[in-house]
Amino acid sequence: MHASYGIRSAKIMSDGEHNSMKNVVFEEAASPASPPSSGADSSATSPLSTTTAISTSPYLHKVTTRRHEFLHESQTNNNLLESNALKISSHKSKVFVFLWDLYSAFRLFGVLLISMETFVGCALTIGATLLAYYMSPKVAVSEEQWDGTLPTILLSFATVTPLIQSISMAFNRREAALRGLASYRSAMYHIYMAQASWDWGECGKKGGRRSCVENTDDLKSVQEVEEVKEGGDGSEEDTTTLPPKPIDWINHADNLLCQLIHLSDSLSHYLALPTASRTHHRATKLGEREAKTLVFTGRKIFALNAAGRIFMISQLTEALKYRGLPGNEASRIRQWEQYLSVSMENMRLIKEYRTPQSLRLFGRVFTLLLPPLYATSFAQTAIDTESIVFGCIIGAVTSLALTSLFEAVRQLEDPFARGFTFDGIDVTEELQVLAYEELMVARSMVFPDAEEFVLKEDTKAKKAVGLDRKSRHYCEDCARIIKAS
């Protein structure tokens, strides 16, 4: 039913100091509010005033002025933030920057690249080096007839080359995921702007959005459903005597906004799920059970979005066509809907299908076992330098380098991550924070006089989602600068 794409407003809530955007609490409703009675003032009972109803027109001086004021105020604040950013990032001492970067590199190396494989590999290598050193033939060593040095071609072929190839393939997948994410967010933004602001009116010919009113048959059907829900008998009431009710375009746009935000939130939850393609997921019963749980959960979340949310967005385009949107403009919106869906599918394939498992298995085994096999080379170094400690250090550093390289491969395998990672895509930041902020800016531009907006989780729960959409890059100093200005 084309009259049932509205939302129902509720109480106004504040979203905290970290979010400067205006927010409106609303719920998805099965139908819009009942039409006003014939004796009531339509401007008082309708949530949409005459000015708001045509606020998408570019020719309204009041609304255009509000938009210019919003842009000017935001640009002024951004100039202050830019000056502060340039000031705080200008470091005159190159020595300080060098020491700062060096300390940060060692700290992140220890936090992100040191794994359990590192400790196991170093222990095996040091143990094998000590064994080779003390078991070497002393007479042959003293007469320089024994040389434990091994060729390094095996080390390069069996570990370094596969790991470098794995890093290259994983990085290319990460770049493909970033392109898919950018396409998704761009399509989402354009869909909202088209649904909220595109007009099909012509000067002196057609009124477009400004002349749209609710269909009386649609209002009648909605009123009957509402009366049955409220305990009435569903008897018919003459709606032909009611004054024309203008289309509530803010409700239409906010209903779309609701679907887009829920779509992005659910996509973020799906992409941030733990990976289900590690070695133990293929080799053990317990791992298979864990993988089935993760894959089943993820596909349920994804199917709800790919089929359910996209369908609801498509229906809102149908509502615009029903109210007069030309077919060529609707076709453009359909194209953005397709971009949205294709981007989601691309990210799903990157999430579920990884680089060759055999190559990663090969790298994992040989990064652990190959350095201990070179223990005679490390022992020879100890004999030549007359220091067993130095020989053990060389062996441990070799094992450390290989296992850290493999850890870098493992971290790049799943480009999506929840929260901060070394090179992963922070989908929570991209889809739940930045995408939400962009949509809020767009809503403030299209409807500068609209109420505040805070999304509710669903029609039953009273918990509001959006209050915790705080970026991990949120800067309290910057917030104080904006507040002071």
Q: How confident is the model at residue 203 (pLDDT cuts 50, 70, 90)?
A: low
Handedness of CA 30, 323, 443, 471 (dihedral sign): positive
Note whether 257 and 250 are within 8 A (CB): no
* Tens of pLDDT, residues 249-272: 888 888 899 999 999 988 998 998
* Tens of pLDDT, residues 43-86: 333 333 344 444 455 555 677 787 788 888 888 888 888 888 88
In 403-431, which positions are buried (b, 16+ CB within 10 angstroms) versus exposed (e)? bbbbbbbbbbbbbbbbeeeeebbbbbbbb
Residue 181, pLDDT score: 93
In SS3 terms, 219-258 reads as HHHHHHHHHHHCCCCCCCCCCCCCCCCECCHHHHHHHHHH
CA distance 391 to 78: 57
On the question of pLDDT at 227 being above 90, the answer is no
Tokens of 284: 């053990």
CA distance 323 to 321: 5
Q: Is 220 exposed, middle or buried (0-12, 13-18, 19+ CB in 10 A)?
A: middle
Handedness of CA 429, 431, 432, 438 (dihedral sign): positive
* Tens of pLDDT, residues 289-335: 888 888 888 888 888 877 888 999 999 999 888 888 888 888 999 99
Name the least confident of 107-111, 131-135, 160-164, 365-369: 160-164
pTM: 0.74
